[in-house]
Structure 1
Amino acid sequence: MPTAHRVVIAVFPDVDLLDVTGPAEVFALANRETAGRAGYEVRLAGSAAGAVRTSAGVRLLTDVAFADVGAEVDTLLVPGAVDMAEDGPVARIDEEVVAWVRETAPHARRVASVCVGAHLLAAAGLLDGRTATTHWSTAAQLAADHPRVTVDPDPIFVRTDHGRLWTGAGISACLDLALALVAEDLGEQTALAVARQLVMYLKRQGGQSQFSVPLSRPAAGRREIDELRLWIADHPDADLSAPALAARMCLSERHFARVFKQETGTSPAAYVEAVRVELARRLLETTDCPLDQVAGTSGLGSAETLHRAFRRQLATTPAAYRRRFRTQTV
């Protein structure tokens, strides 16, 4: 009798190690948390049985050759690999993997890509006419190479085709994608139990951004601006007005505003609001605090200001955001 959840992960030379081992660990922990009832059986498939060298130099042993996988595949998981060019990483297209994915995908209950594995799904024609995500650094390449694919570089993962097709963002987001697959199979509480075992700060939902506010901005050329950005993040409820920040930097308000925008690409007020909205988002996702309290803790002051900031930053309301992304606790 076939295993309830037979997961087949493609491996090939220079595949990203975490893209393979991260999801595999999530499925293994799901088995452990359910005393084996989850029924996940993970198999690594490659061009032939044997060792495959990953991008980290660690070698993986395949369980089965592509030609011998067969039709009994519950979840087909496709990781990625990159080559480095002068202007950044370029997703590698392994034609053997593409051909195998094209042949195997119709037999699988669902297909998911991890990180730049989305480029392989696109090359196989699986993403035409659909929305997909990938690692932010190769999103432009995916859009240019596959104009029939709507590329959204921001989400952690995208679920399309009535849950049959998933694409995930970069590197550590493979854990979020795998947890979402577990939640679909076994329920949210099992997925949260696995997240706790992984000591993850939060099991993120698919529509959330790949970036926190500090990560979404390039490092400043001036160290004192980077230090100020960190201080802002640590003190969201402080006086973060332009005059107060300028005084902290020992600069005139006008000069400070000019330097800050030159280094960060945004105004001090816009940056502060983005930081405070990010904190408010986390509070809405993880607590039942009333909106007035969320606004006060995040430095936005009042529910009215919170509402206006969410409209500007996220084009939604705090209540709607909480309904969509609130993480239920056991």
Structure 2
Amino acid sequence: MPTPLPHDVAILVHDGVTLLDFAGPAQAFTEANRLGANYRTTLVSPAGADVTSNIGVRIAVDGAATSQRFDTLLVPGADIYPRTPVPRDLAEAAQRSAAVAGRVVSVCTGAFILAAAGLLDGKRATTHWKATHELATRCPTCTVEPDAIYVRDGTTYTSAGITAGIDLALALIEEDRGPDTARDVARALVVYMQRAGGQSQFSAPLHGPPPRSPALRTVTDLVTANPGGQYSLGALAKHLNVSTRHLTRLFHDELSTTPGRYVENIRFDLARALLDQGHTATRAAELAGFPSYESMRRVFVRKVASSPVAYQRRFTTALEPTTQGR
């Protein structure tokens, strides 16, 4: 069988880079090479200097990010984003390399680097679930998809947090080499070729700044304190002595959701926390205020593509079950 044409991958590393953001995809490409692919990986930095990862590992680079053409440019993230602005030299390096790359890929908060370089303007994108709101704020022309494991928009690809870079790498390998190679790489790495559900299954319970409107704070405090209450739109509006239209507008303007969806989210987050604590699914549904287990199950399936029981089994422990009586 003839050797396939090389596929050159440039990984733009930088001080503070999250090691797994690029090591995971690089390992996937290496596994693909063992199966007949021909990925050639080059590490570059903005000025060609070696960098230090987020865990203190020194990374030797092959050179500076230049206008040399690569088939794929991969931009990993860092813990410092989005807390700090992206340095200009890093954004310019990404912009320079992206201009001649066949496709541009970011992992986790690497999306902030692409955004700073103007590479996400008008595009769909995602990032780590903790940072999706901030990405939408910094890139108002982006359409941020907070639950996606990865997003493709043309030749631009963005992924969720850290290990989602492996998910995206598998998708790229499938695009380049077909599903059989991607499946074999997934097996070699002992990961799912396509994981069930979006990244909301990994996110923390609903948090955020309190609503500015005193009326809306009254409603959100009420629902949070007693998720099992009767919270139809009419009942909530009557509680505040406002019209349903006005209440709906308040939720839309300040929380970007509807009253009904807000109540559902509060109940979902509480139920998930109860499952994490070891409560049965039926008991979690009751304590979280769902009318029935079935109504809770439907919400879980819609939000995390998993039943409450399957979610609990997946996230309660990382240990193998022990054999009783041994």
TM surpasses 0.5: yes
Question: Using a 3 Å threshold, how does the CA distance of structure 1 residues 210 and 223 change in structure 2: closer, same or farther?
Answer: closer
* Whole-Å separation in 1 of the counterparts to 2:29 and 2:21: 13
1:204-255 deviation digits (Å, cap 9, x = unpaired): 27x941133x7564786998764345x43xxxxxxx4xxxx38xxxxxxxxx
1:129 to 98, 122, 132: 122
Question: Using a 3 Å threshold, how does the CA distance of structure 1 residues 166 and 91 change in structure 2: closer, same or farther?
Answer: farther
* Whole-Å separation in 1 of the counterparts to 2:103 and 2:272: 48
Match of 1:260 in 2: 288
1:174 to 158, 161, 165: 165
For the 8 Å contact 1:45–1:63, the answer to whether it is kept is yes
**Runs of 5+ consecutive residues of structure 1 not aligned to the other structure:** 233-239, 247-255, 284-296, 299-330
Match of 2:88 in 1: 95
Q: Secondary structure at the match of 1:41?
A: strand
Match of 1:9 in 2: 11
1:244-288 deviation digits (Å, cap 9, x = unpaired): x38xxxxxxxxx84x434xxxx66634333446689x579xxxxx
* Whole-Å separation in 2 of the counterparts to 1:79 and 1:172: 11
Q: Secondary structure at the match of 1:101?
A: helix
* Whole-Å separation in 2 of the counterparts to 1:222 and 1:182: 34
For the 8 Å contact 1:82–1:92, the answer to whether it is kept is no
Deviation at 1:100, TM superposition (A): 1.2
Task: Using the TM superposition, name which of 89-98 and 6-15 deviates more.
Answer: 89-98
Deviation at 1:49, TM superposition (A): 4.1
Match of 2:175 in 1: 184
* Whole-Å separation in 1 of the counterparts to 2:274 and 2:41: 48
Q: Secondary structure at the match of 1:107?
A: coil
* Whole-Å separation in 1 of the counterparts to 2:203 and 2:131: 17
For the 8 Å contact 1:131–1:150, the answer to whether it is kept is yes
* Whole-Å separation in 2 of the counterparts to 1:139 and 1:110: 22
Determine if the alignment matches structure 1 residue 272 to structure 2 residue 271: no
Q: Secondary structure at the match of 1:159?
A: strand
2:79 to 79, 82, 100: 82
Q: What is the one-letter code of the residue matched to 1:210?
A: Q
Query: Given the two structures, how large is their TM-score scaled by the length of structure 2?
Result: 0.66
Match of 2:52 in 1: 53
Match of 2:42 in 1: 43
1:143-186 deviation digits (Å, cap 9, x = unpaired): 1111111111110111112xx11111111100000110100000
For the 8 Å contact 2:28–2:185, the answer to whether it is kept is yes
Match of 2:200 in 1: 211
For the 8 Å contact 2:16–2:80, the answer to whether it is kept is no
Question: Using a 3 Å threshold, how does the CA distance of structure 1 residues 56 and 104 change in structure 2: closer, same or farther?
Answer: same
Deviation at 1:23, TM superposition (A): 0.7
**Runs of 5+ consecutive residues of structure 2 not aligned to the other structure:** 207-268, 311-326
Query: What does 1:136-175 align with in structure 2 at a 5 Å threshold?
Result: 136-161=129-154, 164-175=155-166
Query: Given the two structures, how large is their TM-score scaled by the length of structure 1?
Result: 0.65
Q: Secondary structure at the match of 1:31?
A: helix
How many residues are matched? 243
Q: What is the one-letter code of the residue matched to 2:61?
A: T
Match of 2:113 in 1: 120
Q: What is the one-letter code of the residue matched to 2:190?
A: V
For the 8 Å contact 2:148–2:199, the answer to whether it is kept is yes
Q: Secondary structure at the match of 1:30?
A: helix
Q: Secondary structure at the match of 1:115?
A: coil
Question: Using a 3 Å threshold, how does the CA distance of structure 1 residues 118 and 192 change in structure 2: closer, same or farther?
Answer: same
For the 8 Å contact 1:80–1:92, the answer to whether it is kept is no
Deviation at 1:71, TM superposition (A): 2.5
1:277-305 deviation digits (Å, cap 9, x = unpaired): 689x579xxxxxxxxxxxxx98xxxxxxx
Match of 1:33 in 2: 35
